[in-house]
Amino acid sequence: MSCAWSRSQTRGSSFIFSSFKPGNAVNTVVNRWLALWELYASLDRPENPSGRVVINFNDAGLEPGLAFCGNSPDYLLIPDSNFFKSGGYAKAREHFAKKPLRWDQRCPSVFWRGSSLGKKSNPISEMPRARLCQIAKAARHDWLDIGMVDIFDVSESDAAQLRSLDLIKERVHWKQLYKYRFHIDIDGNANSYAGLFLKLLSGGVVLKVASPNHYTQWYYHRLKPWKNFVPVRSDLSDLLEVAAYCRDHNDLARSIAFRGRQLALSMTYEKELAGAVETVRKALSKSMTN
């Protein structure tokens, strides 16, 4: 799912969409395309270069060009449609600013809720998010609050198998994230998009599971292990050890959480929009020299 964005200094912008099957894909493309409207408007000025660039609307990039998530230099990463549509998560910033819960008042649990999105395995119980839930269940630590809330994007038989593993837990709204000290972030079909940003904003420590496919978003180069997040291996082999270490080193965890929140707060809508505009400008200019 993509479109070719062509810009002319005299005629402005035009978009040619690739063909795709009707259904949910239409809504996805339309919503994600509309979310970038301010980016298009910011480029639609005579002083900006003419050129052509592809915009990927999939969760991860498939064609060289602009993408919300990618794993090679072919993808020029810009803020995802959720970031644009929400004004840089403006409501979440306001909400968490009004909930300045002290570190010692937060629940010391390691928390995660999510869906069955992600790379599928055979058996389905081996898919990363299912393994995460099973590791937590097998450990039987009362400080591991980890579970799925939605099972979809799998076959009926795989869904039945996941339900039989008793991995389902009650839904918790993102507005409650500030109540926890420790959060896990793990890929779905691609990076978790809003998931990671909201966890950083909430002021808890993010234990980020390394992306098996090496996916990144536009700001991931600013993530510094053991500075503003805690790294966990992609196979989850060190999850329990890392989680226990963070719980046992309270001052370190609190400082990492503080720096993670500061990172999220520093990425304002205006600043990241300006960065995206510069990314597109370079892409358009380069297209005219190739």
pLDDT digits (tens, 9 = 90+) for 156-210: 999 999 999 999 999 999 999 999 999 999 999 999 999 999 999 999 999 999 9
Each residue's pLDDT tens digit, 268-280: 999 999 999 999 9
Tell me what pLDDT residue 290 has.
Answer: 64
Q: What is the DSSP letter of 19?
A: P
Cβ atoms of residues 177 and 199 within 8 Å:
yes
Residue 123: HSE in the Cβ half-sphere, 13 Å Cα cutoff: 9
Average pLDDT over residues 219-234: 98
Q: Specify the CATH number of the domain 90-266.
A: 3.40.50.2000
Tell me what pLDDT residue 137 has.
Answer: 95
> Is 20's pLDDT higher than 90?
no
Structure tokens at 3: 């479109």
DSSP E strand stretches across the chain: 2-8, 12-17, 51-56, 65-67, 75-77, 107-115, 144-150, 180-185, 205-209, 230-232
Q: Distance between CA 50 and CA 5 in Å, rounded? A: 10
**Domain assignments of the chain as residue spans, ordered by start:** 2-87+268-289, 90-266
